[in-house]
């Protein structure tokens, strides 16, 4: 378990105090667009912020909320088609371009026992709405990121554990678990060179060689998703890595291109589009992040999000450690560190990269990948990248 995840577990009980239940008592919309007024009644104080958004031709107004707020929907008028309350957001769907002319947060009074948020809207041109929405979407992303950071910082400041947090406890004999995934296999041959060289064979030989040189280092325990020419489903590869408690997952492949002149290695980490698939696939495959939150949905969501962010950050860090080693060992593709939504990169809590060793559609790359010396240079470069990554992690932990 990483120091970060230990911190998350300690934070969980502290964060409970910040996850107040924010019951939204009522939402009302009145007016005709010149102006339209939204009034929201809440049990706790809410920051007076409202953001415009536009995506795929759909316009909306978003009000971020503090605390847990449940799920509800309602109808509107005066340019507002309806509203939905979910996931700490109150979103209003707009049927015309409206902008915020005023937003207020009012405390309870003698006759009014709830906090109120009042948002006044006015009709504007589509061009002005689009301009303001672009600005607001950037502001909203920053505001939500800052809110999460502030919550964790407040919690961390209160931590007084009975024992000091220790560096990551590695596998039973002080090792890191490296899962090496030979791409394709069995009924899935992958790409093919002009001379009939199959990707499934190239990747398996590389994985076996990498396992052999890694296991000469006492720091590493190596697991292979396949050690023979057999087919393994993509979701099973990820599940195996998680079940083995992987500290790093490396999927090995060989690329193909329409032009025989394209050559060189490249490394992929998860893309933003791929990130949007993680929760769906985690639910479908029961890839649960092992975090205890005493039943709080908000705390659990925050901590899971932090683990996913840490995983993405470590994946990118390993890719950056690996790239110069690959470049020293052979040709690399321009724009060597790339992003994609490959399925094997979707584990929410295992740093992962997909390595394309070169192009089987390029004659020089194909010869290099087929030869023992070329394979050795490539995998030794991967070993050096792994060493560099974990050396740096240990230095960071030791300096905390």
Give 271-305 pLDDT, tens digit per residue.
Answer: 989 999 999 999 999 998 876 555 556 566 777 88
CATH class of 176-399: alpha beta
330 in Cβ contact with 378 (< 8 Å): yes
Given this model, what pLDDT does residue 156 score?
Answer: 47
Angstrom distance (rounded) from CA 293 to CA 296: 6
Side by side, which strands form the sheet with 115-123? Answer: 24-31, 36-42, 115-123, 98-106
Residues 6+ apart with CB under 8 A from 212: none
Angstrom distance (rounded) from CA 267 to CA 180: 14
Given this model, what pLDDT does residue 222 score?
Answer: 97
Side by side, which strands form the sheet with 72-75? Answer: 51-55, 58-64, 89-94, 80-86, 72-75
Given this model, what pLDDT does residue 58 score?
Answer: 87
Given this model, what pLDDT does residue 400 score?
Answer: 53
Angstrom distance (rounded) from CA 16 to CA 151: 10
Tell me the β-bridge partners of 171: 175
Nearest to 231 by CA among 281, 164, 181: 181
Angstrom distance (rounded) from CA 175 to CA 168: 11
Angstrom distance (rounded) from CA 26 to CA 49: 18
Structure tokens at 253: 């492949």
254 in Cβ contact with 356 (< 8 Å): yes
Given this model, what pLDDT does residue 301 score?
Answer: 73
| Residues with pLDDT less than 50, the chain | 1-21, 155-172
Q: Using a CB cutoff of 8 Å and minimum separation of 24, what contacts does 30-34 make?
A: 30/77, 30/78, 31/77, 31/78, 31/121, 32/77, 32/78, 32/79, 33/78, 33/79, 33/96, 33/98, 33/121, 33/122, 33/123, 34/122, 34/123
Question: In angstroms, how far apart are the furthest CA atoms of the chain?
Answer: 85
Domain with CATH 2.60.40.3500 in the chain: 20-157
Tens digits of residue pLDDT in 229-242: 999 999 999 999 99
334 in Cβ contact with 183 (< 8 Å): no
Domain with CATH 3.40.630.40 in the chain: 176-399
Question: Which pTM does this prediction carry?
Answer: 0.62
Give the dihedral sign, CA 383/384/385/388: positive
What CATH number was assigned to the domain covering residues 20-157?
2.60.40.3500
Nearest to 117 by CA among 160, 75, 62, 188: 62
27 in Cβ contact with 63 (< 8 Å): no
């Amino acid at each position: 378990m990483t120091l970060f995840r230990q911190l998350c577990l300690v934070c969980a009980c502290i964060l409970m105090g910040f996850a107040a239940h924010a019951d939204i008592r009522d939402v009302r919309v009145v007016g005709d667009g010149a102006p339209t007024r939204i009034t929201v009644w809440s049990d706790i104080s809410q920051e007076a912020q409202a953001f415009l958004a536009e995506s795929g031709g759909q316009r909306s107004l978003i009000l971020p909320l503090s605390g847990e707020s449940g799920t509800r929907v309602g109808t509107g008028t005066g340019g507002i088609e309806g509203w939905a309350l979910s996931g700490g957001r109150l979103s209003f769907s707009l049927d015309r371009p409206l902008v915020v002319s005023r937003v207020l947060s009012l405390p309870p009074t003698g006759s009014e026992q709830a906090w109120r948020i009042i948002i006044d809207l006015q009709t504007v041109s589509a061009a002005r709405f689009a301009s303001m929405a672009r600005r607001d979407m950037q502001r909203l992303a920053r505001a939500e990121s800052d809110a999460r950071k502030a919550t964790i910082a407040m919690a961390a400041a209160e931590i007084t554990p009975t024992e000091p947090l220790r560096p990551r406890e590695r596998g039973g004999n002080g090792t890191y678990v490296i899962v090496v995934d030979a791409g394709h296999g069995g009924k899935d041959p992958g790409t093919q060179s002009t001379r009939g060289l199959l990707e499934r064979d190239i990747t398996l030989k590389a994985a076996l060689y990498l396992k052999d040189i890694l296991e000469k280092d006492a720091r590493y325990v190596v697991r292979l998703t396949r050690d023979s020419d057999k087919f393994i489903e993509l979701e099973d590869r990820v599940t195996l890595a998680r079940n083995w408690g992987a500290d790093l997952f490396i999927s090995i492949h060989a690329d193909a291109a329409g032009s025989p002149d394209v050559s060189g290695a490249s490394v992929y980490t998860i893309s933003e589009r791929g990130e949007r698939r993680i929760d769906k696939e985690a639910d479908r495959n029961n890839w649960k992040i092992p975090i205890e939150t005493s039943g709080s949905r908000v705390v659990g969501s925050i901590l899971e999000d932090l683990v996913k962010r840490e995983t993405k950050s470590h994946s990118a860090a390993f890719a950056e450690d690996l790239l110069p080693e690959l470049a020293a060992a052979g040709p690399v593709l321009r724009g060597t560190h790339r992003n994609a939504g490959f399925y094997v990169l979707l584990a929410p809590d295992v740093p992962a990269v997909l390595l394309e060793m070169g192009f089987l559609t390029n004659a020089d790359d194909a010869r290099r990948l087929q030869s023992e010396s070329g394979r050795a240079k490539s995998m030794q470069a991967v070993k050096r990248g792994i060493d560099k990554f974990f050396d740096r992690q240990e230095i960071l932990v030791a300096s905390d």
